[in-house]
Chain A
Amino acid sequence: MDPLSFSSSAAMAQQTWELENNIVTMEPPQSSESDSVFHYDESAQAKIQQEKPWLKDPHYFKRVKISALALLKMVVHARSGGTIEIMGLMQGKTDGDAIIVMDAFALPVEGTETRVNAQADAYEYMVEYSQTNKQAGRLENVVGWYHSHPGYGCWLSGIDVSTQMLNQQYQEPFLAVVIDPTRTVSAGKVEIGAFRTYPEGYMPSDEPVSEYQTIPLNKIEDFGVHCKQYYSMDVTYFKSSLDCHLLDLLWNKYWVNTLSSSPLLGNGDYVAGQISDLAEKLEQAEGQLSHSRFGSLITPTQRKKEEQSQLAKITRDSAKITVEQVHGLMSQVIKNTLFNSVRQSVKTQPESSGPEPMVQS
């Protein structure tokens, strides 16, 4: 394999991929402009606080920019909680219709799904932490809160919605972020969502539903009741030039971890939970379908469409689970081929003959 041709074809592939996915690259790292976002302009922020442009338009903030550091901290904290929900606060500033999150810190409270104002426990901690931070040169204010939904997706539950509505009354500008660490590990990409609630009684214009995600059966009611009371925002990430440089170099040491990661092993019970949840949904859908079979003369076409889309949803969910599993298995098979199928002259080599279904006798 000629390394030269490798890299040029790889470069072409990368460009096509970038084009397909509308990747916007930041400015070249040499310029100091990309780091200007790190500069905290006290007077500009104070001015925005006085003007309060968000009062006129409930849909004012549309985008969120999260720094690499904040994302890393939040995901690590969320994962360290295991199956317990954790929460924390984010610091940053506003910039036009975007909220910029520069940093995040964890709060010593747990289990926010059962209490509305868990933040009250942590006020003392919050105040002390903000004070010490300001001394150490972190000048931004608290601009939102984040918490985790381990395994059941990124959305706001009823309690979350009431908490956020309260926050948006008294602590504007404020943002709610939800992270799902279990799905992150299972899918291999970060599951994160940023939301703002509408004020009480505001009727949003019919928006296109944001990216679909599967919600477990026991939570789906909670989701459905409140899903119209908030909207989600676009999340983008940014990093400083030094971060870029360091992350590039980090890859030199990191590739071992990428190769050795085995998502299948870590997430076994989560996948089992997903499949059993899917089975329940299927039973539910089946029950509805069999009714409509007999009542096909009378029932309007609307109900049929609903059940059909129910089945379609289930199909999408099952496809998603399968894709994740297959990806995990691919890594395992690759590792097996790389490290186990040595000494081919001595043994017969079933592994290298490719993925034919192997039946266990």
Chain B
Amino acid sequence: MASSSSGLTFKLHPLVIVNISDHHTRVKSQSQPPTATSASNSPAPRVFGCVIGVQRGRTVEIFNSFELLYDSSTRSLDRSFLEKKQDLYKKVFPNFYILGWYSTGADAEESDMHIHKALMDINENPVYVLLNPLINHAQKDLPVTIYESEMHVIDGIPQLIFVRSSYTIETVEAERISVDHVAHLKPSDGGSAATQLAAHLTGIHSAIKMLNSRIRVLHHYLNAMQKGEIPYEHSLLRQVSSLLRRLPAIESEKFQDDFLMEYNDTLLISYLAMFTDCSSTMNDLVDKINIAYDRHSRKGGRTAFI
């Protein structure tokens, strides 16, 4: 399948991915109860649903999704159900529109085009998100593909076919933290300051490790290109060069000032905290001394401490 040429950029939120995965797992475990014999060999039933989000200009951002009913006799989605669900979701998320639909499976099928066309009256260019639920540990890439439909002339007949689009994963800070939390099962309680620090730095460390490995790949590739093992690919070279030219990221005076100010603010806060800690300890000390050298002790013990 050719890649999309519509020029739309797609952004996918992790919530959608987890939603689809949960839908699939649910349906699978309902149809194959755990008391059934060992590993199920029959393929899990396909699930279908709708994706909603926002479209701003050329950017399509998919935020959320919900399930839909599929009628296998007519091979189409239950329309009234869709509309009911859409109303419910509109009340809570008034900004989101139906952007397309999703399904599980290994590859897009012909029958999917049928469903796709049915959605075209809601959104003239719906997207089709396909998740492959088969766990393949050798696979390094996310088994989620986004398809758009395009009119292509095949054998003289204009037909709609699915074309792949690339997408990026977009997230908000809260989403990132909760995904991180569930993915890596970080310590949920306060822990000591040391564990918190360790957790925080581990996160950053892994991210930097990824960055490092990616850069190494590029480096290796460029080396090979230089030695002549691989033919020159100019578009890639241009991209790498533009990437390099973006460093250093920010160099203005204003940035330095703001950065230093933020730095100093944080130092000030830690200074104040240290102060508070010290005064609290001093307070404890004074109290203890007062108790030990109580001038009105009945035993007439030690003299008052002045």
Contact = CB atoms under 8 A, between A and B. Distances in A.
B25 A258 contact: no
Nearest to B169: A253
A296 B23 CA distance: 66
B305 to A, nearest CB: 12
Contacts of B29: 35-36, 38-39
B24 to A, nearest CB: 7
A329 B266 contact: yes
Contacts of B88: 125, 128-129, 132
A247 B17 CA distance: 9
Contacts of A38: 25-26, 28-30
Nearest to B67: A136
Contacts of A264: 262
Given A250-B14, A340-B249, A76 B21 contact: no
B30 A39 contact: yes
B18 A72 contact: yes
Contact of A311 (B140, B263, B280): B280
A315 B280 contact: yes
B160 interface: no
A322 B139 contact: no
A139 interface: yes
B24 A315 contact: no
B162 to A, nearest CB: 22
A72 B175 contact: yes
A340 B198 contact: no
A276 interface: no
B287 interface: yes
Contacts of A217: none
A56 B181 CA distance: 35
Interface in A288-344: 289, 296-297, 301, 304, 308, 311-312, 314-315, 318-319, 321-323, 325-334, 336, 338-343
Nearest to A350: B256
Contacts, number: 289
Given A72-B182, A76-B174, A252-B142, A275 B269 contact: yes
A85 interface: no
B287 A331 contact: no
B156 to A, nearest CB: 40
B143 A249 contact: yes
A8 interface: no
A103 interface: yes
Contacts of A36: 29, 34
B68 interface: yes
Contacts of A142: none
A240 B30 CA distance: 14
Given A20-B195, A67-B22, A311-B283, A258 B180 contact: yes
Contact of B69 (A135, A212, A258, A327): A135
A79 B68 CA distance: 26
Contacts of B257: 360
Contacts of A176: none
Nearest to B17: A246
Interface string A1-39: 101001000000100010011010100010011011011
13 contacts: A40-B30, A72-B14, A125-B91, A135-B69, A235-B188, A240-B25, A246-B18, A282-B276, A318-B277, A319-B277, A322-B270, A329-B263, A330-B200
A-B pairs with lowest CB-CB distance, top 7: A79-B174, A36-B34, A136-B67, A255-B210, A247-B183, A322-B273, A339-B249
